[in-house]
């Protein structure tokens, strides 16, 4: 039964992924030098029009700081507003971070995609998030930027 369910999910997602373009991106944010060094980077892959007009994106991130290293994974659903010249998108997602503590993340995304040439674009994202750890929560607001490459 389990194999049948996995096969069914793979067929549905495989057909859905065939409808839109795939994209990959590398984004960086949170670069601090004072008072302590920290640097974060994320690598993500996604596909447009997976669930109707929604794009799905998933990836992993790494943050290195003087306090240690944090590894994170996450997935987002995005809705693109295509315009000549500038593309806007917004959405939300879930994530999990593991470091000193395990953190569950509920995040939003509002982004701007600037075309550079052909299938190469530059992205800037605003990411409000609520982090849940150890029975408490914390609001964070992040900004990420980096290149996005469309594969098809």
14-61 pLDDT tens trace: 544 456 889 999 988 776 666 677 788 999 999 999 988 999 999 999
Q: In this predicted structure, which of 7-11, 67-71, 140-144 has the lowest mean pLDDT?
A: 7-11
Virtual CA dihedral for 79, 82, 86, 88, nearest 10 degrees?
-20
Torsion angle, alpha carbons of 62, 66, 67, 73, to 10: 0
Token duo for residue 21? 């373009």
The CA–CA distances, whole Å, from 10 to 18, 43, 44, 114 equal 12, 23, 20, 33
Q: Kindly state the tokens that stand for 126.
A: 């605003």
Q: Are 138 and 108 in contact (CB under 8 A)?
A: no
Say if residue 152's pLDDT is above 50.
yes
Long-range CB pairs of 141-144 (<8 Å, 24+ gap) are 142/29, 142/30, 143/29, 144/27, 144/28, 144/29, 144/42
Other C-beta atoms closer than 10 Å to the C-beta of 65 total: 15
Mean pLDDT of the chain: 85
Whether residue 127 contacts residue 108, with contact meaning beta carbons closer than 8 Å, is answered with yes
Domain that holds residue 136: 2-150
In sequence order, the β-bridge partners of residue 110 are 90, 126
Q: What is the CATH number of the domain that holds 42?
A: 2.40.160.20
Q: What is the Cα–Cα distance from 130 to 25, expressed in whole angstroms?
A: 23
The pLDDT score that the predictor gives to residue 5 is 43
What CA–CA distance (Å, rounded) separates 126 from 108?
Answer: 8
- Domains in the chain: how many in total? 1
């Amino acid at each position: 039964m389990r194999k049948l369910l996995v096969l069914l999910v793979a067929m549905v997602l495989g057909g859905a992924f065939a409808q839109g373009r795939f994209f990959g991106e590398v984004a960086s944010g949170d670069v601090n030098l004072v008072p302590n060094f920290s640097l974060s980077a994320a690598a993500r892959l996604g596909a447009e029009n997976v669930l109707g007009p929604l794009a799905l994106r998933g990836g992993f991130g790494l943050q290195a700081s003087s306090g240690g290293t944090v590894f994170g994974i996450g997935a987002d659903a995005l809705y693109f507003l295509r315009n000549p010249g500038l593309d806007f998108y917004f959405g939300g997602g879930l994530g999990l971070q593991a470091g000193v503590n395990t953190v569950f993340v509920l995040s939003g995304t509002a982004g701007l995609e600037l075309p550079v040439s052909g299938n190469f674009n530059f992205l800037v994202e605003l990411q409000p998030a609520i982090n849940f750890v150890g029975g408490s929560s914390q609001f964070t607001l992040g900004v990420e930027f980096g290149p996005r490459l469309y594969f098809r």
